[in-house]
Amino acid sequence: MRFETLAVHAGAEPDAETGAVAPPLHLSTTFRHGPAGERQAGFEYQREGNPTQDRLEACLAALEGGERALAYASGMAAMQGLLESLPNGSEVLIPDDCYTGLRVLAREFLPLRQIACRTVDMTDLDAVRAAMTPQTRMIWAETPSNPRMAVADIAALADIARAGGALLACDNTFATPALQQPLALGADVAMHSTTKYLGGHSDVMGGALVFAKADALYETAAHRRHITGGIASPFNSWLILRGARSLPARMAWHCANARRIAEFLGTHPAIAAVLYPGLASHPGHAVAARQMRDFGGMLSIRFRGGRDAALRFAARVRLFTNATSLGGVESLIEHRASIEGANAVSPPDLIRMSVGLEHPDDLLADIGQALD
Ligand code: PLP
């Protein structure tokens, strides 16, 4: 079945009991069992598993082409759920450009579990090879990366990981499975902040892991989630499943709008660089063209006039809203360095844009008036 068809139907079969076409929402925390705990319909207690979360997981596994998926309360819960399922003493290579939460997890929390993270430029395959040690258990890729839009070669990283006896995990939040399928390229786990494009409407928080194989790592992460409790609630699962069903259609419009904006900004004298993998000038364009169906709805721009010019632009836009997060129907912008706080690593002249589903001419008019 093609991706668009899977998105509509996976996990969303009509309810067997009532025939309801829209997936039902089951809020029950507990499920009737027999006198000696015999399960009647496979469920016992919501934290261990529940029908609405099961539907979402079936959908996500199908969309990413994995054997099993686990849904979480947030992208960070999913990330932590995977990284803390590695054995003590593990070393993980993480990208030098990545979502700031991963950097903080690596600095403040994973060391408490004797999991050491080292930063490497994931676009430089020789650097990744050189960074591997016998303790390296996982390479963590994020492509395109947040916020510099660096593109990592997933198939090449999978080969390096395998040769070193390590696993490859890929944060696929920016691309979504509609544009990029890391498991088909050799990754072992795809991770998502489903808060973003999968939910798609800036009204639900969630995360997910999709495993190529229902292996020991999957079992460890599933057991860990059951006991530590970071599940997706039934209502959040239901909203994310609802979002996933229109993902391919939304992504096509996000991509078309972002491309228009990237092309416009690429010729504007106030802009020093447009970081969008769809532009032939982007250093990762060739790899992105090989491993992505399209180039996504995210882009970052750097201003010739530095931080002041970036902040002036952010203050002048009217249709774009200054807000964190991404992947919703409305266009957002953000001066990342301001949001990252004391340990900011984003360049001060950089503005990140999450291009929404408005008409592109209105978005371009807004950008044009803010730059004038
Ligand atoms: N990964 C990426 C690429 C992100 O952009 C984010 C959030 O912005 C996360 C992970 C964390 O997800 P959440 O905010 O759902 O915990």
User: In which residue ranges of the chain is pLDDT below 50?
Assistant: none
Phi, psi for 105 (deg, rounded to 5): -60, -45
- For residue 136, the number of C-alpha atoms closer than 13 Å in the C-beta half-sphere is 24
Q: Quick check: is 99 catalytic?
A: yes
Select which of 55, 68, 137, 171 is catalytic.
171
The whole-number pLDDT of residue 342 equals 79
Are 135 and 107 in contact by the 8 Å Cβ rule? The answer is no
What is the whole-number distance in angstroms between the Cα of residue 134 and the centre of ligand 1? 29
Which ligand 1 atom minimizes the distance to the CA of 173?
Answer: 3
Separation CA 76–CA 205 (nearest Å)? 10
The whole-number pLDDT of residue 343 equals 82
The whole-number pLDDT of residue 127 equals 98
Ligand 1 within 6 A of CB of 209: no
The whole-number pLDDT of residue 344 equals 87
Separation CA 364–CA 25 (nearest Å)? 40
Handedness of CA 73, 77, 78, 81 (dihedral sign): negative
Secondary structure of residue 211 in the 3-state scheme: strand
Handedness of CA 170, 207, 231, 323 (dihedral sign): positive
Q: Quick check: is 196 catalytic?
A: yes
The whole-number pLDDT of residue 366 equals 98
Which ligand 1 atom minimizes the distance to the CA of 145?
Answer: 3
Number of helices and strands in the chain (H, E): 13, 12
Whether the model clears a pTM of 0.75, i.e. scores above it, the answer is: yes
For residue 78, what are the contacts with CB-CB under 8 A and spacing of at least 6? 70, 72, 191, 192, 193, 207, 208, 209
Tokens 């960074």 correspond to what residue? 131
pLDDT, tens digit (0-9, with 9 covering 90-100), for 219-271? 999 999 999 999 999 999 999 999 999 999 999 999 999 999 999 999 999 99
Q: Which of 72, 148, 196, 299 to mutate to test the pocket of ligand 1 (most atoms within 8 A of CB)?
A: 196
**Mean per-residue pLDDT of the chain:** 98
Q: Can you state the angle between helices 216-228 and 75-83, rounded to 10 degrees?
A: 120
Are 318 and 368 in contact by the 8 Å Cβ rule? The answer is no
Q: Quick check: is 276 catalytic?
A: no
pLDDT, tens digit (0-9, with 9 covering 90-100), for 263-282? 999 999 999 999 999 999 99
Distances (CA, A) of 103 to 144, 261, 362: 16, 30, 36
